[in-house]
Structure 1
Amino acid sequence: MKVVLTAGTGVYYDALKELFYDPFTKETGIETVLVSTGGYSEVQTKVRAMSEANNMEWDVFATTYDTVRSPAFANYVEDLGDCSELPNVESEGVDGSCLGKAVLWAATGNGIAYDESEFPNGGMKNWPDFWDVKAFPGPRALPNFGSPWYVLSAALLADGADPKDVYPLDVDRAFRKLDELRPNIAVWWTSGDQAQQLLRTREVVATMVWNGRVATLRKEGFPISFVWNGAMLDADALGITKGAPHKIAAMALLNYIYARPKAAAEFAKRLNYAIPNKHADDFLDADVASNLPTAPENWSKLVKSDAAWLAENSQKLIERWTAWISG
């Protein structure tokens, strides 16, 4: 028996494999088979294509917290209901771990990362600074991975919107602000690995990216800072594909990963992602916990998306974004 899955790339996947997937195989005998993919937009496209062709090859896939709640994606994932068939999610997960169509996984802040060496007199502190190419000169990068509301939210903050008033998104205003910065965007990246590499090679001086990616770069010795002010709360979700060829094994895997608080804590130590196991903090030092999005001083600075608004508007937003990015 096996589970075919796609769940991130690079160091993110390496940590998942070591801490969760390999132990799962050792304890259950169920093989975990990784499918190499690009960013989330590519994953979503392939899931749709396989489903519509009635040729589903994957069992478990990672996508964004927002995407899995989107009506446009509902027909491609198994409905887990209240997760009663995943008892560890109920007993070990933090409140909100069951998403109906998936389970919550790694939570992070999606904010500004900048190269300290480019700004010796002080770096960026907020999204208006990211847009200010005179005070902070140099090429930027922004993501294009299927969830454009993060970039549009940043544009509104750069235009002076109060964080509590970002939603509902003023889409016209956001695109006008993006038009201003567009000439300075050197790369529209599609995966976290690509974003990291842009900073390693100094192809850009700043980008939007997840705090865990910055933590890894700093461990490698790169002088990259992360800005929590105005960062977007982002999270992965793990879903089971509709028509999964190994659904029972996939259910077993999702249930298993929620029962490993020490592994969840180790994952957080390595990558600075908050794992939704309510006992993980028991195994974390205060300095690690303070660099997670769930730390009170960081949590208060995060911008949270409006799930109800996105459920009604995400598809139209993606269509407009696709037209804009292609133009």
Structure 2
Amino acid sequence: MRSYLKGAVALSLLGLGSTAIAQDLVIAATGGTFEEVLREAYVTPFEEETGLEVSMASQDSTVGPLKAQVEAGNVKWDVVYLAPIDSEIAKKDDLIHPINYDVVDADGLREGAAKPSRIAALYSASVVAWNSAGISEDVGPQAIFDLEQYPGKRAIRSSTPYGVLEIALLADGVAPDNLYPLDLDRAFAKLDEIKDEIIFYTANEQGVQLLASGQATIGVIPNGRAFKASRDGLDIDYSFNGGVNFVDYWVVPKGAKNPENAMKFLDYITKAEGQQVVGDVMAYGGNNPAADEAYSAEHQKHMPTYPTNAKGLVTMDSDWWSQNLKPVFSRWQSWTLN
């Protein structure tokens, strides 16, 4: 999702990632800190419990490399982590196996987490965040557009219209239940009201820095980034009110060399214990609500799956986005550059 267009044209990569050696299981997921957390939460304990040897390949959660592998008949990965829109495209393009729910235990998972060919991996949100030295009260989408009460620059990511367009429409009075299909003319007209005050950033860490330093008064960033910044003592606060919830997925590519082991791993990641590790570090929710019970009451307030927070979020319609991705991205890119 986060950079589908780039991934879709990178078909020549064939998804070799960081490993091409034979293993019992090869998992492809976003690298860096996320890979480290996945190893601690799932991969290492899965290896210890099953005796299987697992390797990890780094890829940016887009569907392009997976599509290239499947179409070339040269699938390197057994389990792949995909962002919402990308998982939707993978399903529609018939690139992924059905999940074997005789092996994967879906009992007790969140509603909608267990889909025929995908299983929910991570629940995150784009949230309204602000410089807490300048704004002391909780605010929502309307505050981004209230230049009189909350003067200053706005921090908006230049590469990702999803989340931003929804928040603009919510600020303009669209009811959450009527958000999709997105009224693009209305969303862009709303954003035009603040365009001269927007600082576009390209990486999430830049958005955090803009808000923490006071260069921007208010903006939109991922809840996990806002949580970490606040925990580390930076001048950032945020609210789930009027934010947009995203659900990333685990999938098994067609032609995977180790589909049986892939299903065993997907079953393993439904356990609450591993999800608690991810939530503690990143404040992202998992597919098993039992994991939430282990968090302190204070930490639960930072989780998008916490009931009070979940009520304030709207869930991205990845089906609508998968059908409209290219024209909306084109319009967004033109708008940000002009």
Residue 317 of structure 1: aligned partner: 328
- Give the 3 Å change call, closer, same or farther, for CA 209–60 of structure 1 in structure 2: farther
Residue 10 of structure 2: aligned partner: none
1:255 aligns with 2:267: yes
**Equivalent of 1:79 in 85, 93, 97:** 97
Give CA deviations for 1:236-279 in whole Å, capped at 9, x if unaligned: 21112233343333222112111x32222232233222211142
- Code of the residue aligned with 2:187 in structure 1: it is A
Give the match's secondary structure for 2:163: helix
Contact persistence 1:75–1:242 (CA under 8 A)? no
List aligned pairs for 1:91-106, cutoff 5 A. 91-106=107-122
TM-score normalised to structure 1 length = 0.81
**Equivalent of 1:107 in 123, 131, 137:** 123
Identity of aligned residues (%): 26
Aligned equivalents of 2:74, 2:206: Cα separation in 1: 30
- Code of the residue aligned with 1:279 in structure 2: it is A
- Code of the residue aligned with 2:47 in structure 1: it is T
List aligned pairs for 1:67-216, cutoff 5 A. 67-70=86-89, 74-75=92-93, 77-80=95-98, 83-88=100-105, 90-117=106-133, 119=134, 121-122=135-136, 125-133=139-147, 135-142=150-157, 144-145=159-160, 148-189=161-202, 192=204, 195-196=207-208, 204-216=216-228
Residue 234 of structure 1: aligned partner: 246
TM-score normalised to structure 2 length = 0.79
Aligned equivalents of 1:239, 1:312: Cα separation in 2: 20
**Equivalent of 2:288 in 273, 277, 297:** 277
Aligned equivalents of 2:222, 2:260: Cα separation in 1: 32
Give the match's secondary structure for 1:110: strand
Contact persistence 2:127–2:239 (CA under 8 A)? yes
What is the number of equivalent residue pairs in this alignment?
Answer: 315
Residue 12 of structure 2: aligned partner: none
Contact persistence 1:289–1:295 (CA under 8 A)? yes
- Give the 3 Å change call, closer, same or farther, for CA 77–114 of structure 1 in structure 2: farther
TM-superposed CA distance for 1:195, in Å, is 4.5
TM-superposed CA distance for 1:203, in Å, is 6.1
- 5+ residue gaps, structure 1, are none
Residue 222 of structure 1: aligned partner: 234
Contact persistence 1:6–1:60 (CA under 8 A)? yes
- 5+ residue gaps, structure 2, are 1-22
